[in-house]
Chains A and B, each alone.
Chain A
């Protein structure tokens, strides 16, 4: 189903002045998709850890900056990838003071109280900024995996996934591997006819208000018309979005490169499965941006750890079995991440390079341990953003975490000038 050409013509003709960026963007899209066929596309994966990690045994020694550092105990399972990841130290979100919310502001850096009189405020997350740029080429603008109802127990805080949209609203995530698999690789449950009808209704709504906008426009002079053009532009943006839905409506889902997952897995096995699905989603170019709020409580259960997750993050008070739990959790996380990197390295692009060469993984949280938000653990891996890998990068205390996000964006070709409370890019991070 196409948008009636009469409307397109109309939308284009309302004002040559303002229509320009629109035409340009259409043209750009065509150009970009053509180009994409030649150079492998950039991808990003964000993995959120909720209740932090063990400070003493996860971070490399700050006195051994650079590439020649001793692999700390918590990262040992990643030793075989040493040249392909970098640990950043000293990063923080200065506006965030949220001890039980490891993920809510992790990718945004927003000040929860920025709006007087409102008790909660958030801004766009870095993955969504990237998704706006990369997402137009794929069926899913971004794909959010989540631990669902366990989010609170896992120290992630408010939100439905790691992602927050342009206006700071939470983006929903998929809570279990089976559902994620079907979303990506199985045909839609809702019959095609019904989906078409829903889109048609949305078009009728836009047509209705456009009718009134045109009626108003007829009476207006040049200046007022230029202002009203913003309204047309807004409607046009929605139509572009609907247009993308229509474009994919009858395109069949790709064949799954992995088997349908078993239902009912939890913890370690579930995370592993989610990683497989994430890799498969990138491999089939179903999306180029993925986020995952990982479960912590079920991870502990699956490792046969009896300590409660929140209690574990307070390991300093008693050490003993809480510290032990925290360290075993770190090892499990590192093992899982090493496995995901193996997989991405093994997947080949058309030009013979690996998927890992074009992907960046960000692994971390804005709760380091206990309720501490300073020195947010941040591990970046992959060669998709031209970042310097293989380093223990010790930055001045209080460097905005958003500077890392900005560097990641710019390195991946997203034309962002700032993100959150960023003050600039991290030059030392650039290869």
Chain B
């Protein structure tokens, strides 16, 4: 029992591994890896400070340190050491009244022990190359259905498979449950419905143009109505006031005024005032209180719709429309919302927007946010408006329409000025800013001529649908007979199972299910989809099985190799070429395999690997953990965040494309950016939506991961930078020297709350306690060295801190400002005086960085933890890449060439 508890502690987010432990324990753990062990020199500390109570004389808590083995090669020993670590970390031991070790000594001891525990964890959880059966994860399932049926269905209700703390490809963390099975059935049915619809729509052209000047009428009507309503409200108020002024009403009015906060409240009691007219008689009809409505109309004076009145004075309203910034009016023209007619079938579409930026508009406002309708749906993409009023340009945005877009909440798209309605806080902020500027609101910056939606010609028929050719997919023609149906089921299952043979009895039962549905009154097309959905919910589809009845590790066969390779580099099943090479066995030849790996990497589909791998490796999900305060960081809107995240992907993709050195991620003299990011970073002369390589001046802080807005913003909490978060990230990801997990039971540093301190002083408090200093002396200097970047990755030289009270309000006279001092030194490493020097120091770490990259690739590609027993493979990958100046593809080729990749 206790050992199980320990495993949970050692593997906090890998509970399932704990269950599997007995299976793997048949392989000796200590055989091929050096045991994790504490250096014998630490015996002195234990003897000096612990032995009196935990030795031969006394055994308090039945715990003896003198019998503790210094080699942690079994769970019992590791568990006992964990107790030592926890007790010293929490300050529980040595007890307060006893002699305490000096801080430095204690810190070194804890530092070593924490690292030994990390090693022990790696060692004791080493799977020794055994790959647990892998289920298709959420994104692989989506890609697989796109490949098989051409259908892009919503799979977001399934578990995301990314929260296990490792890659979403790791088999042991890919679970299954009854409700999930039912979701697979439902997703399968949706995908089939969509696939069938795509098939039926083959060759159907659709095109539609919206002339957006039609929106003018709504705005002019609005202004007219508002004005008219206000006038009526004013007249009612005047009439009630006249009645109130009558001498006979003096007593009543005085009485009413006593309890009312304002005249508006008094007017609510108009019925008690003789001669006061009803709001209804002035046309105020409502199910709620009509006097409230009339009072509101009275308060709503022309100043409150000045923004819309101003709109009517702008030029070129007869041929187009401007994008406004959402105002209290409900946001007339703050978004243009072309509706796609219901008759437009699913398929690939392009939306074209002919647009211009006004001559006066600031460069950072010349961007469009594009997304699917629904105010809370985040921006899908951002586009630069490069056209001018004299010569507008057409922006093309591709998108895939699915059956889900039939839903009336999803059947539209939106175009709006970037960063004007990401969330409510931003909206309010923009309004206030605009009002402050000129009393009315920001002048519109973007003019749109028209919006066009066109369905693109269909790509070739998806293999799953091709397999069904010969039987009717709809109810217009004769439904197939049982033998035809069975043959079609077999062809479909072969395709869905990536070449694995469905069993005879399975096919029989599928036909049985179909017939049962038909007997029950279902139409043919429905019964067919229900039966086929079972193929998509059965284990040969959902799991990537590599059968091997004995536990012996055997070489993969051709089809298995094709599947493993394509899920690695595309996150999707093999295409016909790869499948054919797999089936013929050609793929098992080293040269063919390498050539195919190269082909897959050249294909745009490898972006799936780039995104999934880098997102998880670098923990980019942290960018979504918090909202960036729009009042503090107005420029870091969703569009910027989206582009910043894409910069990481595009930089990695560019390295893959060029087979450039992985070490460019540590430092580079170029960036890979689009127009939006160039504007954000202040780099001149880059316009448009495509990411491209741009050279940097010598002293630029950009270039490499450390200069990327996404990486720097992740190292904040949306408001302040977090030097600890940043420093730890650098240690984990760039230097491959991950700090051990933060110790349990350490009290938070609350005593500093509300103190007027610089960031450095606040963070340095971590180093007062020995148990904290052991890690923070490594982490913090790196974080301080990055302080010239603010919470959203923009360069700064000054910083300040303003104490806030419980309500979040700034406390007067509790502010401190300082000039940032990035100077410091790596632990046991070189000193640096500036960010650029820190970056130089980190750029020398290509070797450890390459090891980290290799380990991550092994884990991602093989779907299992990279253990001690993988050290030789890591060595081989790094050695291979080193000969080619750490060229990125060399890592991948070396991995694919390895026995680990080629064996079950």
Contact = CB atoms under 8 A, between A and B. Distances in A.
B634 to A, nearest CB: 21
Contacts of B543: 216, 227-228, 231
Contacts of B545: 216, 219-220, 224
Given A201-B516, A208-B510, A208-B513, A215 B378 contact: no
Given A215-B503, A215-B506, A318-B268, A234 B513 contact: no
Given A115-B160, A228-B543, A231-B176, A221 B509 contact: no
Interface stretch (A25-33, A116-124, A329-337): A116-124
A119 B268 contact: no
A211 B510 CA distance: 10
A235 B178 contact: yes
A382 to B, nearest CB: 31
Contacts of A208: 506, 509-510, 512-513, 534, 538
A226 B20 CA distance: 8
A311 interface: yes
Nearest to B423: A113
A228 B178 contact: no
A6 interface: no
Contact of B377 (A119, A167, A200): A119
| Top-9 shortest CB links A-B | A219-B547, A237-B178, A119-B376, A116-B624, A227-B133, A224-B133, A215-B503, A208-B509, A230-B176
Interface residues of A, number: 48
Contacts of B133: 220, 223-224, 227-228
9 contacts: A204-B509, A204-B516, A209-B181, A216-B539, A221-B549, A224-B133, A233-B176, A308-B287, A318-B292
Interface string A99-136: 00000000000000001111100000000000000000
A167 B157 CA distance: 8
B551 A221 contact: yes
Given A197-B520, A221-B550, A230-B177, A307 B289 contact: yes
B646 interface: no
Contacts of A227: 132-133, 171-172, 543
Contacts of B182: 238
B538 A209 contact: yes
A115 B269 CA distance: 49
Contacts of A222: 23, 551
Nearest to A207: B509
Interface in A178-197: 197
Nearest to A167: B179
Contacts of B510: 208
A304 interface: no
A349 B139 CA distance: 53
Contacts, number: 145
Contact of A318 (B132, B177, B265, B520): B265
A204 B288 CA distance: 56
A56 B505 CA distance: 70
A219 B549 CA distance: 5
Nearest to B375: A119
B871 interface: no
A226 B130 CA distance: 13
Contacts of A311: 288-289, 292
Contacts of B321: none
A230 B178 CA distance: 9
B374 interface: yes
Contacts of A228: 133, 539, 543
A166 interface: yes
B20 A220 contact: no
A169 B545 CA distance: 31
Interface string A48-74: 000000000000000000000000000
Interface in A358-383: none
A320 interface: yes
A209 B178 contact: no
Interface string B560-602: 0000000000000000000000000000000000000000000
A211 B156 contact: no
Contacts of B378: 117
Interface in B483-519: 502-503, 505-506, 509-510, 512-513, 516-517
Interface in B408-447: none
B537 interface: yes
A238 B292 CA distance: 56
A234 B176 contact: yes
A224 B132 contact: yes
A212 B513 contact: no
A213 B181 contact: no
Contacts of A35: none
Contacts of A226: 20, 23
A116 B378 CA distance: 9
B181 A234 contact: yes
Nearest to A310: B288
A6 to B, nearest CB: 14
B555 to A, nearest CB: 15
Contact of B503 (A211, A236, A307): A211
Contacts of B179: 166-167, 234, 237
Given A215-B505, A221-B548, A227-B133, 9 more contacts: A169-B157, A201-B516, A208-B510, A227-B171, A233-B177, A234-B181, A238-B178, A311-B289, A322-B289
A205 interface: yes
A233 B156 CA distance: 23
Contacts of A117: 156, 378
B396 interface: no
A206 to B, nearest CB: 9
B130 A216 contact: no
Nearest to B185: A205
Interface in B170-222: 171-172, 175-183, 185
A209 B537 contact: yes
B288 A308 contact: yes
Interface in A231-283: 231, 233-238, 241
B175 A230 contact: yes
Contacts of A213: 538-539
Q: Which of B133, B376, B510, B547 gathers the greatest number of chain A CB atoms within 10 Å?
A: B133
B520 A201 contact: yes
Contacts of A167: 157, 179, 183
B540 interface: yes
A216 B132 CA distance: 15
Given A219-B547, A224-B133, A205 B178 contact: no
A353 to B, nearest CB: 37
A215 B268 CA distance: 77
B621 interface: yes
Q: Which of A216, A238, A241, A307 gathers the greatest number of chain B CB atoms within 10 Å?
A: A216
Nearest to B509: A208
B710 to A, nearest CB: 14
B256 to A, nearest CB: 11
A227 B20 CA distance: 9
B181 A235 contact: yes
A32 B888 CA distance: 61
B112 to A, nearest CB: 34
Interface in A307-332: 307-308, 310-311, 318, 320-322
Nearest to B625: A116
A211 B171 CA distance: 23
Nearest to A320: B268
A361 to B, nearest CB: 29
A225 B315 CA distance: 71
Contact of B513 (A204, A230, A320): A204
A403 to B, nearest CB: 20
Contacts of B505: 211, 215
Given A117-B378, A119-B376, A237 B540 contact: no
Q: Which of A216, A224, A228 gathers the greatest number of chain B CB atoms within 10 Å?
A: A224
Contacts of A318: 265, 268, 289, 292
Q: Which of A116, A212, A236, A237 gathers the greatest number of chain B CB atoms within 10 Å?
A: A212
B539 A212 contact: yes
